């Protein structure tokens, strides 16, 4: 079981000095990866399904991970997730290729389609067809990353007779992980990704999602064993992170990576405690 941390661009992590020290502590403790989330803007006032108050500090994913890359050497760096339909695919491809180069090939590219309509409205991006737009943008990014003569023609993106260097260190491109808990998300992971990420899922919900993912892989003629499964458990209410028995139960379901979210850690000391407790899950 790979053990990781989520939320490393939020809350106390938004202080660069704290982020530096805690990231190095996480690497020294043997954590496998650090993951960021994304919301470019948040609705004000907060209303469901918005997950955070409008004043929540959230650093940009690629900027935050590039900073952490400069302060670490081995720990992998994951976007969990980037809301792809809100991005220009070529600009994002350049940013992520740069991050992969600067981190010596440590990027994990987690992708999602988004769910907050006010966020899309504020950015001037249609909320409708966001799933189709996501898939097309991703294929465009794969092309610019990997083709000798990159070319793409789609409904939402098109280019030819251009190049973008440097290419990512990882070949043909960084590991792609699809997020989402719907049949459409499972199908995207089965078609396009090396991994799938389920957020805030308890054991029962994880099992249900894995059944859906297996069905999608079967439909695509793919072995679900070739899809790396990452899960963030629900936020613990009585402790910073989940206990080792719960971690084992996730492993028994077939989970490959636990991405723990210590959301109750409000300062550096609490984050350091969360790192130490999370590291124990790998034992």
Write down the CATH number for the domain with range 2-280.
3.20.20.30
pLDDT in tens, 231-283: 999 998 778 888 999 999 999 999 999 999 999 999 999 999 999 999 999 86
CA nearest 136: which of 167, 113, 170, 164? 113
- What local confidence, expressed as pLDDT, does residue 283 receive? 63
Q: What backbone torsions phi and psi does residue 48 show, to the nearest 5 degrees?
A: -55, 140
Which residue carries 């130490």 as its tokens? 276
For helices 89-102 and 61-71, the axis angle rounded to 10 degrees is 10
pTM over 0.85: yes
pLDDT in tens, 7-48: 999 999 999 999 999 999 999 999 999 999 999 999 999 999
Report the pLDDT averaged over residues 201-210.
98
pLDDT in tens, 140-174: 999 999 999 999 999 999 999 999 999 999 999 99
| Extents of the domains making up the chain | 2-280
């Amino acid at each position: 079981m790979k053990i990781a941390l989520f939320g490393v661009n939020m809350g106390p992590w938004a202080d660069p000095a704290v982020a530096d020290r805690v990231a190095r502590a996480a690497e020294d403790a043997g954590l496998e990866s650090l993951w960021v989330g994304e919301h470019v803007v948040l609705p004000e006032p907060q209303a469901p399904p918005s997950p955070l108050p409008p004043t929540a500090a959230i650093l940009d994913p690629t900027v935050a991970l590039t900073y952490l890359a400069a302060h670490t050497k081995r720990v992998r760096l994951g976007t969990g997730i980037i809301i792809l339909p809100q991005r220009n695919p070529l600009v994002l491809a350049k940013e992520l290729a740069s991050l992969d180069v600067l981190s010596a090939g440590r990027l994990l590219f987690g992708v999602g389609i988004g769910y907050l309509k006010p966020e899309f409205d504020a950015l001037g991006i249609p909320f409708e067809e966001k799933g189709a737009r996501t898939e097309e943008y991703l294929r465009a990014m794969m092309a610019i990353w990997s083709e000798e003569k990159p070319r793409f023609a789609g409904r939402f993106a098109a280019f030819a007779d251009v190049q973008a260097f440097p290419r990512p260190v990882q070949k043909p491109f960084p590991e792609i992980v699809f997020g989402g808990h719907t049949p459409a998300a499972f199908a995207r992971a089965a078609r396009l990704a090396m991994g799938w990420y389920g957020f805030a899922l308890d054991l029962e919900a994880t099992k249900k999602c894995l059944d859906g993912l297996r069905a999608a892989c079967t439909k695509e003629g793919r072995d679900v064993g070739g899809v790396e499964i990452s899960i963030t458990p629900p936020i613990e209410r009585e402790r910073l992170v989940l206990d080792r028995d719960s971690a084992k139960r996730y492993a028994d379901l077939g989970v490959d990576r636990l991405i723990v979210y210590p959301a109750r850690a409000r300062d550096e000391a609490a984050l350091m405690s969360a790192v130490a407790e999370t590291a124990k899950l790998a034992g």
